Amino acid sequence: MTVEETENNLENKVCAGFLALDGEKPVGMLLYFLAYSSWEGQYPFMEDLYVRPQYRRQKVGLRLWKELGKTAQKQNYPRIEWAVAKWNESAIKFYDVIKATNLTEEKGYMKFRITEEGIEKLVEDSELHVAF
């Protein structure tokens, strides 16, 4: 993604987010988009959270999360979801502090992805037969 593509997506409300500033200097950002649950309706999916290393452990991430929380309350969204890499121990500890539920541990949910190559194979593979 280029800066221009991201700006275009923000302008067209494909995604939304918050920017943390130190004066005029960007020091952190949180990006999210709206997902949908057939049980509960729309909810934000937090896609990216980044805080510059020298601003970490200064509650910048927490303030960004609080803004997303306020948005969720204001819009009556039922939940906020996101994914985190297993190796990102500091993020996992932070999510424990804010009382987030680890869906892998609690519910056994697993996250999957299919990329361009897989999509191409899915669409073109005549060996796949699905009955509807």
Q: Is 50 a catalytic residue?
A: no
d(CA 16, CA 33): 6
What tokens were used for 112?
Answer: 């999957």
Q: In this structure, which amino acid lies at residue 116?
A: E
Pair 81, 45: CB distance under 8 Å: yes
Q: Which of 69, 6, 15 is nearest to 47 (CA)?
A: 15
The one catalytic residue in 32, 55, 95, 109 is: 95
Residue with tokens 């960007």: 26
What residues act catalytically? 95
